[in-house]
Structure formats: C-alpha cells, structure tokens
Chain A
Amino acid sequence: MIGLLAAASADMDLYVAQNIFFGIIAAQMIYAAFRVVTTANVVHAALWLVLVLSGVAVQFILLGAEFVAITQVLVYIGAVVVLFLFGVMLTRASMGADESVASEKRSMATVVGVLLFTVMAVSLIDSFEDTRLVIDEPQSTTLVSDSIFSQYIVPFEAVSVLLLAALIGAIVVARRD
C-alpha cells in the first residue's frame, strides 16, 4: 500500500513523505473508527475515539495547519473525550463489556453508514477528481489570529457571549435545588 502511494505521488514530484504518512495514519484512523462502533465496552469506545481524533490532528499537521491541529487536540481529546469519560462515570452506564451497546440496531446503523459513505465518497470523488491543491507554506497561527480579529470579529465576539450564556444556563439547569 505504501509502495502504491509512493508511486502515485511520484508524478506529483512533491510531498512524497507526507503522502506516505497520510496513508499510514488514514489506515490507523479507519481501523480505530471501526473499533469505536464495534467494541462492546463504552470506555474502550471512548479511547478508540481518542485514536481517531489524534489521527485527524496529525493529518492537520501534515497539511501545515498547526493551529487547527493543536485546537483539535485541546478541544476534542482534551475536552470532549474527557467529557465522555465523565459522563460514563457519573451515569449508571456499565464500565465493563456490555453486548447491548454495540449490537442494538446494528443492521440499521450499517445500512445508514454504508449509504452515507457511498453517497459522500461518490460526490467527493466526482467533484474534485484530480484537482491538485498546492500548499505553498504552512498556515501560520498569525494568519488565523489576523482573520479572527478582522474578517470574523463579529462571530468571534458572539461566541464569547454564547459561552457565557451557556455557562450560566448550565449551572442553573444542573444545580440541585
């Protein structure tokens, strides 16, 4: 598979190493993603999810988007997965293997998953075919911050209001009284 990728990228005369690593990490992500939905243990599923998400982060680094990669680690692995684990701990979900977790409505989920995958794959391939996106240089964090504080200043400020409102509301809803 690696040989194939190398051959495919040979005529692109650039990014050979990136393409090889892309293939390796993509394969690892696909395997981990399958395990997320097939494992019978909720905690294991959350940990497999960490592998998928860190794979995404590495792919972003390969694309030269350092800021997005770090955000991916901080937000998804640092916050979302930890939230999952806390959710498992604080609710009465069983920590061990529980067959019903993975087997419930499995056939339905498979049909939906396969359908969605086919439609998306076909339309992505159909739309981009052999388009080549050349990245001249890594996307610097300066660029990100510049656009946050100029072009996207309105949504940025709105997000801060949203966070405050969500915080206040969550406390009210979660309080025991």
Chain B
Amino acid sequence: MLAALAAEVGDFVRPPIDWHAAAPELTLLAFGVLLTLMDIVWLERGRKWAPALASIGLLATMVPIITLAVDGADRSMFGGAFVVDKYALIMKAVFILAGYIVVLISSNYISEGDYWENEYYGLLLSSILGMILMASARDLITIFIALELLSIPAYMLATWRKRDLKSNEAGLKYYLMGVFASAILLYGMSLLYGASGTTLLVDLNESISASDSPSAIVVMGIIFVIVGFAFKVSAVPFHTWAPDTYEGAPTPVTAFLSVASKAAGFVALMNMLFVGFIGRDDVYEPMIFALAAVSMTVGNLIALRQTNIVRMLAYSGVAQAGYMLAPLAVASDVPDSALAATVSYLVIYAVMNLGAFAVVIAVARKTRSAEIDDYRGLFHYAPGLTVAMTIFLFALAGIPPLGGWWAKFRIMGAVIEANTVSGVVLGVFVAVNSVIALYYYARIGAKMWADEAPDGDLTPVRVPASLKSALVLTVAATIVFGVLPGLVGDVTKVSLLAGVGG
C-alpha cells in the first residue's frame, strides 16, 4: 500500500528555493520562535529580556535585507509569486525599522502596565513577518495570507489592555470590520481567479487586459479587491473603525496600526494595481480617484473638530491615506513616478507619525490623558517634547524644511506630471487640504507654546531611555528627509513593472 502511494507521488518535483531571497522572513521567524521558546523555558525570568530580544531580531532581519540590496539582483521564485526587488526591499526595511521604533516606544508602556509582555512581542513580530512577506507577494493567495498574518495579531494587540472596556471595543471593532473587509477582498479575488484561471498577478494582468472592455466579473472583482484594501488603509468611506480603534488600543499599538499596518495595506494595493490591474486602468482609476479625493477632504474636515489627540491623528491618518492614494489614481499615465511618490510618502509618513505617537505616549506618562487641552503649556515643563511634537506636526502638515513637504511635493509632482484632468483635480484637492490640515496641526502647536499649564502644574515629564531614543531617531530622520530630500528620492526610484516576470 505504501509502495503504491510512493509510486504515485514519485513525480513530485521539489521547487527550487532561493534561500538568500527568503532570508529576511526566515530570520524574523527564527527570532519569533526563539522569543516564544524563551517564555516557555524561563517563564517569568525571561520577561525582561523580551523587548531586547525582539529588537535584536528586528535589527538582525535588516542584515539579509542589506546584503540583498548590496547584491542588487532581482530575485523571483515560484514563477513570480515571490519577488525580491528594490521596491520589496525598501518596503521590508520600512516595516522592520517601524517595528523597531514601535518596540522602543512599547517597552516601558507594556512592562509598567503589566501586560503580557512576551506574547505582545511575539504577536508584534508575527505581524511584521506578515508585512515583509507582503512586500514580496505577487500572487493572490500569498497576498491574502500575508494580509491575514499581519492583521490577526493586530486585532488581538488592539485589545491588549483587556481590563479596559475601550480597549475591548477597539479590538472588537477592528476585528469585525477587518474580517468583513477580508471576506469582501477574498470574494473579489475568487472572481478574478474565476475570470483568469490564475493566481499569479502577472498572468492575471495579461488575462484581464486582453480585451478592450472588461467583462462584468472582472469589474466586480477589481472593485471588491480595492474595497477590501480600502478598509485596511482606512480610506473614506471605509474608515469608521479607525478613530475608535486608535483611541481604545494601547497607544504603541495605535502607532503600529497607523503606520505599519497602513503601509502594508498600501503595499498590497500597489502590488495589485501595478502588477495585477495595470492594464485595466479604466476600472480602477476612477475608483481610486474618488477614494483619494473623499478621504482627504472628509478626514481633514472631521479632524478639525477633534478634542482628543489620538482621534485627531486617526482622522489626519485618514486624510494622509487620501494623499497617498492620489498618485495611484494616475498609475497608468506615469507608473514610475506614481509608485515612487507613494513609496516616498510612506517612508516619510512612517517616521513623522511614529514620532508624533512617541510624544503622545511620553506626555501621557504624566497627564494620563490624550486630550488636546492637556497639552496646554507643555513648553513650560517639557520643552524638549514640545519642540519634537512641533517638528512632527509641521512635518505632517508639509512645511519645509521638514520631511513632510518633500513627500507632498512628490505627490503633487506625480499627479501634475500625468497631465490629465483627474490628475490636476487631485492636485487641487491635495493643495486645498494641506491648508485645512495646517489649521488643526498648528492649533496644537499654539496650545503647547502659548498657553499656561493647567493648574500651574510644572513637574517635568520623565521620559525613559528607550522612548527618548525613539524620539531622537524619528526627529533626526524627519529633519534629514526634509533637508536632504534626494536621500529618499534616490532610494525610492523604484519600478514594479521591471521586477515582475518569471
């Protein structure tokens, strides 16, 4: 019986695996396993080493990413389902470094709150593993699995302060909306598979762009897939979960969600648009156009009225998602500059938003709140934090010479370069919204610098070392990206179109 079975499976061919290309994922996986094992073997004694091991794991993962970047060759496995090119490496580096900063801003918060430290870092690492896998995924199934691997740990991290009702609400809302989006996305993917008979994005593009006008099922498939990712990047009208989840989740997790998780959604969307749907621009461009324009405007207008800084950052994140979507709406006219614009925006946004959340965490150590009114007079007792927060807020608003202006400049450049009506209209939207956004960012600045501290309480904020180093890193990066924009410009000169193929 066994012999018969063996004869039947005899023709199985082991797929060639490029271990170097898979090394970043494997390294991170190894450290995640190590972290879990440490908890099993050492129990409580291992607790205090968990953040250190997690950061070592993340930094160690940078090693293969750097060697792959030095090597420079585009690598492709499984017929193009797993691709390592410049774009993938940049996004992997962004996820790893963002994850590292999240570990830095988490370590005191999590250990002082007596939350489940070891499991926290384990889940964080598995979520980051999903993200770096996403950067290489060029296949419907791999993209879906990577999306679940990055989302499911995040659902649980959002509810990590489990004795707090708001945190429970945050996790539950995020979970329900997330699985709802996943279901829609998966249905869209199944329709596309049904229409094309392939899961590889390259072949999918060939198949669906063969005819002049798309068949109804392809249109439905593309719409469902984009809706699914629009939830992930919190674009209007699929943003309703974001403010409540951001407010209730532990603040380091909020920082992680608003930066890494959103970037991963964008990476997935870019993979789909630039590799899978690029020939069907007549379907996705109007849709992305509408999402971008509405997200910017609605996000900014609601952000104006927020009294809680985390909710304000949530709505500003919705608006920022709109800016990042804008170049994707002209993806077929100027594919390379559109991709480069969104990638550089993601890089810079990651730095400045993580920094803003680091300040929020530092200030909350004293005030125990995230109300904007509690930032009054911050300058009088925490001048360093005030300067840092001002830098991040003005960078988010896009004021030179801080990082954000260059990001916005690239977006404007791409949509204007397209020289289409929709591109120019989006450019106007970006310009008008930048002005609206400046108002609510500057309002916080004014409160911090000009007002008196509430109750005249001037005890300084004690900032622990790890939080301080996160702040120094993000401030430095925000300024460097703004002063030397060529740095990001050179790195993000990527093309997805060249890297595809078997």
Contact = CB atoms under 8 A, between A and B. Distances in A.
Interface of A: 119-120, 122-124, 126-128, 142, 145-146, 149-155, 158-159, 161-162, 164-166, 168-170, 172-173
A161 B129 contact: yes
A119 to B, nearest CB: 7
Nearest to B29: A161
B75 to A, nearest CB: 13
Nearest 4 CB-CB pairings of A with B: A123-B216, A169-B156, A127-B217, A155-B145
B88 to A, nearest CB: 13
Contacts of B113: none
14 contacts: A123-B215, A126-B217, A127-B218, A142-B8, A146-B9, A153-B17, A154-B78, A159-B145, A162-B130, A162-B149, A165-B122, A165-B152, A169-B152, A172-B156
Interface string B1-31: 0000000110011110100001000000100
Contacts of B81: 151-152, 154
B409 interface: no
Contact of B133 (A123, A158, A168, A169): A158
A55 B46 CA distance: 51
Interface residues of B, number: 48
B119 A158 contact: no
A155 B152 contact: no
Nearest to A152: B141
Interface in B76-92: 77-79, 81-82
A123 B217 contact: yes
A80 to B, nearest CB: 13
Contact of A153 (B15, B126, B127): B15
Contacts of B133: 154, 158
A126 B152 CA distance: 36
A123 B79 contact: no
Contacts of B171: 173
B130 to A, nearest CB: 7
Interface of B: 8-9, 12-15, 17, 22, 29, 32, 36, 77-79, 81-82, 116, 119, 122-123, 126-127, 129-130, 133, 139, 141-142, 144-146, 148-149, 152-153, 156-157, 159-160, 162, 171, 195, 215-220
Main secondary structure of the interface of A (DSSP, over half): helix
A162 B182 CA distance: 15
Given A142-B8, A162-B152, A168 B122 contact: yes
A103 to B, nearest CB: 22
A120 B224 CA distance: 12
Nearest to B12: A146
B9 A165 contact: no
Nearest to A165: B126
Contact of A127 (B15, B122, B153, B216): B216
Contact of A154 (B36, B142, B218): B142
Nearest to A171: B119
Nearest to A149: B12
Contacts of A155: 139, 141-142, 144-146
Contacts of B36: 164, 168
Nearest to A140: B8
B13 A150 contact: yes
A29 B257 CA distance: 40
A161 B26 CA distance: 11
